Amino acid sequence: MSKDRSKSLKMTVSTMGRVTKSDIRESFQHPLPKESILCSDGHVSYKGYSIENNLKHIVLRADLKQYVKKGGYHIQHVNELHNRLKKWIAGSFWGVSTKYLQNYLNWFYMREKFKHERMTTKKMALASIHNTHAIKQYRCNNFAYEVLMATQM
């Protein structure tokens, strides 16, 4: 899950368990622009990704009570979004299948995108059709699941 200051949001299943540098690379698909600043919880994978892509990396460690660094850098929006996602899944379903997790993320993404609007079924359907990234992910769901499971062995 990634979010930037312009409120651009990306939600992609990249792995089960702790993320690796290659998971991050594949999740972003394209290297982040050189002027980007990567803020993370300090896991070594993010450090490796930032070094590999010559990005400034700001580490915020909650265990050291580092929540905001000068300049307003923080990961609170991503953590809060992650928390809302977990509550939505726990409160709406009897669990979710790993195979269809990306579909649930796409659904949650649409809910987030239009949370301040009254959504009609027609409007939601039109927005879903225009979300080509979600359509591409849906079409590749079985293949992505097989790849995900193969990397966990």
In the chain, which ranges are continuous DSSP H helix? 21-28, 44-52, 76-92, 101-113, 121-130, 132-139, 141-151
Mean pLDDT of 54-83: 90
Q: How far apart are CA 57 and CA 11, in angstroms?
A: 21
Q: How far apart are CA 86 and CA 92, in angstroms?
A: 10
Domain boundaries, the chain: 2-151
Q: How far apart are CA 101 and CA 28, in angstroms?
A: 18
pLDDT band at 144 (very low <50, low <70, confident <90, very high): low
Mean pLDDT of 116-133: 71
Q: What's the burial of 116, exposed, middle or buried (CB within 10 Å: 0-12/13-18/19+)?
A: exposed
pLDDT band at 29 (very low <50, low <70, confident <90, very high): confident
Q: To the nearest whole percent, how much of the chain has pLDDT over 70?
A: 80
Residue 105's CB is within 10 A of a number of other CB atoms, namely 20
Q: How far apart are CA 153 and CA 149, in angstroms?
A: 7
User: Tell me, what's the pLDDT at 32?
Assistant: 85
